[in-house]
Amino acid sequence: MNDLTPPPVAPGYPAPRIDFNAPAFRRKRRLRAWVDRLTRGYVLVGGLSVLAAVTLIFFYLAWVVLPLFQGASLSAQPMVAPAWLKDSGKPLLLTVEEQNLVGLRVSSQGEAVFFNTQSGAPLQRITLPVPAGTHLVSVAKGQPGTPWLVAGLSNGEALVMRSSYKLEYPDNVKTVSPVLEFPYGRAPLTVDTQGQPLENVAITVSDTTLLIAASSGATLSVLSVAEREDNLAGQTRREQANIVLPQMAEPAKALFLDPRQQWLYVLNGRAQADVFDLRKRSLNGRYKLLEDGKSEVTASRQLVGGTSLMIGTSKGVISQWFMARDVDGEPRLNHIRDFKLGDAPIDFIRAEERRKGFIALDRDGVLGVFHSTAHRTLLTQQVVRHGEALALSPRADHVLVEEQGRWFPFALHNPHPEVSWSALWDKVWYENYDKPEYVWQSTAANSDFEPKLSLAPLTFGTLKAAFYAMLLAAPLAISAAIYTAYFMAAPMRRKVKPVIEMMEAMPTVILGFIAGLFLAPYVEGHLPGIFALLLFTPVGIVLAGWCWSRLPADWRLSLKPGWESAVLIPVILGVAGLSLWLSPRLETLLFDGDMRQWVGTYLGLGFDQRNALVVGLAMGFAVIPNIYSIAEDAIFSVPRGLTHGSLALGATPWQTLTRVVILTASPGIFSALMIGLGRAVGETMIVLMATGNTPIMDMNLFEGMRTLAANVAVEMPEAEVGSSHYRVLFLAALVLLLFTFVMNTLAEVIRQRLRKKYSSL
């Protein structure tokens, strides 16, 4: 008894008068008012803080993702017009090294000049070792990213060169020292073109073999220089051989060699490509590059990796082609996609050395920046009137255009060309693939890798994992909630509900660990038993109910109402044990002893040990407590007056449940399902550890998947900060956030409508 408790009153005496204006009562009211204001302010600040935090997360993700969809920009730098450039001859080759400090220009006069790109001053002027009485006819660079050069001479010989740049810091000043080497000697190599000028040349070098392709008119020749180890002499010798190929019908315009040294691409005639198989020494096919009959090929270049050919036409169109297998399994040159620069003919195409991007310059001096995989045009801008040579630095951040003895340098800013709507969500025809597909493959070991950043398989995997988890969890959780809240005895409910809710406290990393290391191999070894369990359990429950109805009435009435589920516990355990015990016998009887092989042979389905079935079982177990707890509270909160009134009017308990209780509790049940779905969509550790993390699009129950959340968890630690890969991972997180936001908003709208509709019950 405290100071505010009135004293006891003796029987027959009037109750004492309480003074509510006493100081103690006033202090109590002030304290309560202060606590109410404090609580109201705390709840208000907390709620606004949560909303602010979610909003800030959304805007931060959007801020990181936004640069992905911005285009490229080109900034003009001071023009350079060195005096020596005017009389140096026609440019046959123009390149810029990685630091954008030194350029290389090879002219028709047989001179290679290394020059300072900022001032134009020559650093080294090298007269190429061209035999007397001959001159340079053509110069070609190897595949993008390689240092090899080849010069075609007027006497049918080819000079092989290699450029290199040494970076030094004397007195803390960055200095680039260029070197032009002749690894195969200063004497040119003879190509079998009967002494005719080499109008077009191409080069590719592997670890042991050098290939040079050359053409003179319609004459085509390929020279192979192989290095052989002489084990007895301990020396390396070079063996030269000419690869004889079928001759062309029309003069060649350009030659390109596959870096794997399998294909030789010859552009000839108006718009035709002959593809030769160097290993079989035969013609693979003649392909028509243009169908209109009016335009012609005016420029061409290989992309990094040497797989794709970019073909520029006289109508300003640039098309991509590469070899892919047809329906018969034969490799054929396929037209993949087109890019449009303008209406003027394309004069130059230059490929990036580290990405699948390229730039193009047309005859009107308009420069375009493109990316092949993303099928994206990032920039078109007028830079000169009519360019005579074009160079792109290895980092693709510097462009150099030569026009009438002047150089026009430009700084190119193009950080994220790989991302577009089509690359993220549509099928893309990637190099070395036979058809367009949805693929996620963000990294590889080689530098000429084509990033495959499709979010479609990750989104599909997210929905697939959530679907199978909800397929298991939703019926069990809702049914358990209905039985617990409506049929189960109160003492038993007070024990069962806390136990189920305690399941939610189990860390998901533990569930994923158990699922990956124990459940996955166990399910693989007991597949018939698992599916038998799904069939035998309802049969066993119905059979147990039928047997229970045949028991004497005294026995049945001895069990108090609401305790019937206790009888089913041994039944379910017995059915489970029987199903798993029968598993090997069922596998021998029905599936020839191997259900996994039977699934692949007769159903045509692949089987992965860590598959959607394992994810459904593990993640369903994690989702059940969420759905059950909310749904059970909603059903149990239905006013008893409605239930008693329905029963009093003659409705059966089942009719009361289906037509009154569930309808009244439907908003809460729907909310439980939506919250469970949100939990399944955002789950990370279970799908990370219980699946093969293979980003494939297949609803097969026995195949794995990769989800958006698991992909972010796996690849974010390895992603370079600020890279396209890094920002696409943030985009995946943003997609996940938007998905849950939309689902929750939709769920709230539907819940409010259900509440309004059934509030009159």
Tokens describing residue 442: 């963000």
pLDDT at 257 over 70: yes
The span from the CA of 287 to the CA of 207, in Å, is 31
- Per-position DSSP letters for 448-513, written without gaps between them: T---EE-SHHHHHHHHHHHHHHHHHHHHHHHHHHHIIIIIS-HHHHHHHHHHHHHGGGS-HHHHHH
The span from the CA of 460 to the CA of 699, in Å, is 9
Question: Containing H/E element for 719?
Answer: none
End-to-end CA distance of the chain: 45
Q: What is the DSSP-derived secondary structure letter of residue 247?
A: P
The span from the CA of 94 to the CA of 357, in Å, is 19
**pLDDT score, position 141:** 93
**pLDDT score, position 233:** 61
Cβ proximity of 456 and 438 under 8 Å? yes
Long-range contacts from 587-591, C-beta under 8 angstroms, 24+ separation: 587/527, 587/528, 590/528, 591/528
3-state secondary structure 92-130: EEEEECCCCCEEEEEECCCEEEEEECCCCCEEEEEECCC
Cβ proximity of 197 and 153 under 8 Å? yes
Maximum pairwise Cα distance, the chain: 141
| b (16+ CB within 10 A) / e for 62-77 | eebbeebeeebebeeb
pLDDT at 14 over 80: no
In this structure, is the dihedral angle defined by the CA atoms of residues 435, 436, 442 and 447, taken in order, positive or negative? positive
Tokens describing residue 532: 């038998």
The β-bridge partners of 289 are none
Q: Phi first, then psi: what are they for 218, rounded to 5°?
A: -95, 5
**pLDDT score, position 447:** 66
3-state DSSP assignment of residue 533: helix
The span from the CA of 583 to the CA of 251, in Å, is 72
| b (16+ CB within 10 A) / e for 436-473 | eebbbebeeeeebbbbbbbbbbbbbbbbbbbebbbebb
pLDDT tens string 707-759: 999 999 999 988 889 899 999 999 999 999 998 888 888 888 887 887 777 76
**pLDDT score, position 5:** 56
- Residue 269: Cβ within 10 Å count: 20
| The total number of structural domains that make up the chain | 1
The span from the CA of 606 to the CA of 341, in Å, is 45
How many residues can be counted in the chain? 761
pLDDT tens string 171-221: 888 889 999 999 998 999 988 767 789 999 999 998 889 999 999 888 899
Angle between helices 724-758 and 23-65 (to 10 degrees): 130
Q: What is the DSSP-derived secondary structure letter of residue 298?
A: E
3-state DSSP assignment of residue 87: coil
The span from the CA of 350 to the CA of 310, in Å, is 9
In this structure, is the dihedral angle defined by the CA atoms of residues 95, 98, 99 and 100, taken in order, positive or negative? positive
pTM of the model: 0.87
pLDDT tens string 634-686: 888 888 888 888 888 888 888 888 888 888 888 889 888 988 998 888 888 89
Tokens describing residue 440: 């996620």
Angle between helices 724-758 and 708-715 (to 10 degrees): 150
Q: What share of the chain is helix, strand, coil (3-state, %, to 5)?
A: 40, 25, 35
Question: Containing H/E element for 606?
Answer: none
Tokens describing residue 611: 């598959």
The span from the CA of 84 to the CA of 118, in Å, is 15
The span from the CA of 62 to the CA of 429, in Å, is 28
Look at residue 98 and tell me if it is in a domain. Answer: no
Q: Residue holding tokens 């355990």?
A: 573
The span from the CA of 380 to the CA of 505, in Å, is 57
pLDDT at 79 over 90: yes
Torsion from C-alpha of 60, 64, 66, 67, nearest 10 degrees: 150
The span from the CA of 31 to the CA of 18, in Å, is 20
pLDDT at 25 over 80: no
Cβ proximity of 313 and 351 under 8 Å? no
Alpha helices in 329-415 (DSSP H): none
Instruction: Quote the mean pLDDT of the chain.
Output: 88
Tokens describing residue 713: 């968890």
Look at residue 468 and tell me if it is in a domain. Answer: yes
Domain enclosing residue 655, as ranges: 456-716+735-758
According to DSSP, the β-strands at 366-371 and 376-382 are antiparallel
Look at residue 405 and tell me if it is in a domain. Answer: no
pLDDT at 9 over 60: no
Cβ proximity of 301 and 277 under 8 Å? no
- Nearest by Cα to 68 from 373, 419, 421: 419
The span from the CA of 308 to the CA of 356, in Å, is 9
Cβ proximity of 224 and 210 under 8 Å? yes
**pLDDT score, position 679:** 87
Look at residue 84 and tell me if it is in a domain. Answer: no
**pLDDT score, position 425:** 93
**pLDDT score, position 17:** 67
Mean per-residue pLDDT, 79-94: 90
**pLDDT score, position 372:** 94
pLDDT tens string 101-142: 999 999 999 999 999 999 999 999 999 999 888 999 999 999
**pLDDT score, position 416:** 92
Instruction: Give the CB-side neighbour count of residue 249, counting CA atoms within 13 A.
Output: 8
Instruction: Give the CB-side neighbour count of residue 538, counting CA atoms within 13 A.
Output: 5
Residue 416 vs residues 99, 398, 734: alpha-carbon distances, Å: 20, 16, 18
- CA of residue 136 relative to chain centroid, distance: 47
pLDDT tens string 387-431: 999 999 999 999 999 999 899 999 999 999 999 999 999 999 999
* CATH code for position 529: 1.10.3720
State which of 11-15, 83-87, 342-346 shows the largest mean pLDDT.
342-346
Mean per-residue pLDDT, 321-338: 93
**pLDDT score, position 605:** 84
pLDDT at 436 over 90: yes
Question: Containing H/E element for 744?
Answer: helix 724-758
What is the band of 2 on the pLDDT scale with cuts at 50, 70, 90? low
**pLDDT score, position 325:** 92
In this structure, is the dihedral angle defined by the CA atoms of residues 451, 69, 349 and 219, taken in order, positive or negative? positive
